[in-house]
């Protein structure tokens, strides 16, 4: 089948309360993620982000509408294992995702459950640990790791399943700045190697590298576009409890003060280039 998206949400509704049909946590959500795409979902607390994450690999199935993973309907139970292999979800709290006491045993857990031969598991675990920069820690005890390291071990556990997409549900919310950088850099590296990434976050700076940004509010999609399109809608973001990246704030402030900044620099590099242009350097 041509034109098949890796992840395809079609008019999805989800309720935690089957009794109360009006209490949808997710309302009429439609979006797609293609192979190799980097999608960021922004939204304040309670806007439905974690529900979307759980709908993306059949942890939840829609109350109404459809979710397809590589053409497979997530509501069809016989697809469950194939779907979980293709789309992994990394959650907020690294401590809830670590299952073994030694790093390499933890990473091997997923592939072992798939019944993969030991020699192949060894290779997958080593490759996964190298991919997240934790290979040297393979024999370390998991409980001694920092938050960022634990989160990277959790990501390695996903990678060892050879997924085509990883959904990160606020993976940096409990981390210090260094841990946040480690995790975001890992996601960007995986994406540069061809993996699809869905990053759910409320840190605006983490959204500037996305191919596509989706803003959710009250369970609905409020806006979808490139980071530049989204961050130029400052008022819309503020009205739904979000912010703009510091670089954007600074640009807007300088423009207000009469500095002739053109366009909307998003990253520090872009802002520096714009300064150099203005100063004719
Ligand atoms: N287990 C649950 N039972 C009932 N309501 C829930 C449950 N989990 C989340 N909700 C509700 O669903 C809505 C969306 O929650 P969630 O997807 O966790 O949002 P986010 O991840 O953006 O904070 C919220 O109103 C929340 O209170
Ligand atoms: Mg959440």
**Ligand 1 site, residue 46, Cβ cutoff 6 A:** yes
Our measurement of the distance from residue 250's CA atom to the centroid of its chain's CA atoms, rounded to an integer in Å, reads 26
Classified as helix, coil or strand, 193 is coil
Instruction: Considering every ligand atom shown, identify the ligand nearest to the alpha carbon of residue 51 and give its number.
Output: 1
Q: In the prediction, which pLDDT does 3 show? A: 57
Angle at 97 between CA 220 and CA 51, to 5 degrees: 10
State the Cα–Cα distance between residues 261 and 275, nearest whole angstrom: 8
Average of pLDDT values for 79-91? 92
State the Cα–Cα distance between residues 230 and 200, nearest whole angstrom: 15
The answer, yes or no, to whether residue 42 has pLDDT greater than 90, is yes
Q: For residue range 97-151, what is the model confidence (pLDDT) as tens digits?
A: 899 999 999 999 989 988 889 999 999 999 999 988 999 999 999 999 999 999 9
CA nearest ligand 1 atom 11, residue: 25
Whether residue 100 contacts residue 157, with contact meaning beta carbons closer than 8 Å, is answered with no
In the chain, ranges of CATH 3.40.50.300 domains: 7-244
The answer, yes or no, to whether residue 2 has pLDDT greater than 70, is no
Whether residue 200 contacts residue 26, with contact meaning beta carbons closer than 8 Å, is answered with no
Read off φ and ψ for residue 143, nearest 5 degrees. -70, -15
State the Cα–Cα distance between residues 139 and 207, nearest whole angstrom: 34
The answer, yes or no, to whether residue 1 has pLDDT greater than 70, is no
Mutate to test the pocket of ligand 1, among 51, 93, 169, 200 (most ligand atoms within 8 A of CB): 51
Which CATH number applies to 7-244: 1.20.140.10, 3.40.50.300, 3.20.20.70, 1.10.3720.10? 3.40.50.300
Q: In the prediction, which pLDDT does 168 show? A: 95
pTM listed for this prediction? 0.91
CA nearest ligand 1 atom 2, residue: 16
**Ligand 1 site, residue 54, Cβ cutoff 6 A:** no
């Amino acid at each position: 089948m041509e034109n098949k998206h890796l992840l395809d949400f079609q008019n999805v509704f989800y309720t935690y309360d089957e009794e109360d049909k009006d209490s949808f946590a997710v309302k009429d959500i439609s979006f797609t993620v293609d192979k190799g795409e980097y999608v960021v979902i922004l939204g304040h607390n309670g806007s439905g982000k974690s529900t979307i994450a759980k709908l993306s690999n059949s942890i939840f199935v829609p109350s109404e509408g459809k979710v397809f993973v590589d053409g497979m309907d997530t509501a069809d139970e016989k697809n469950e294992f194939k779907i979980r292999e293709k789309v992994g979800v990394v959650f907020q709290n690294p401590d809830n995702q670590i299952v073994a006491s030694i790093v390499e045993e933890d990473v091997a857990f997923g592939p072992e459950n798939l019944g993969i031969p030991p020699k192949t598991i060894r290779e997958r675990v080593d490759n996964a640990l190298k991919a997240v920069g934790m290979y040297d820690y393979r024999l370390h005890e998991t409980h001694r790791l920092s938050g960022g390291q634990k989160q990277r071990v959790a990501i390695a556990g996903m990678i060892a399943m050879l997924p085509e997409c990883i959904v990160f549900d606020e993976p940096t919310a409990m981390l210090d700045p260094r841990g946040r950088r480690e995790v975001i850099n890992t996601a960007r590296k995986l994406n540069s190697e061809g993996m699809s990434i869905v990053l759910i976050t409320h840190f605006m700076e983490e959204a500037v590298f996305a191919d596509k940004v989706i803003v959710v509010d009250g369970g609905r999609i409020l806006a979808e576009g490139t980071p530049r399109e989204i961050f130029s809608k400052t008022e819309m973001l503020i009205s739904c409890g979000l912010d703009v990246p510091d670089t954007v704030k600074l640009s807007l402030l300088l423009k207000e003060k009469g500095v002739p900044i053109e366009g909307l620099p998003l990253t520090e590099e872009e802002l520096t280039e714009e300064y150099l242009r203005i100063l004719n350097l």
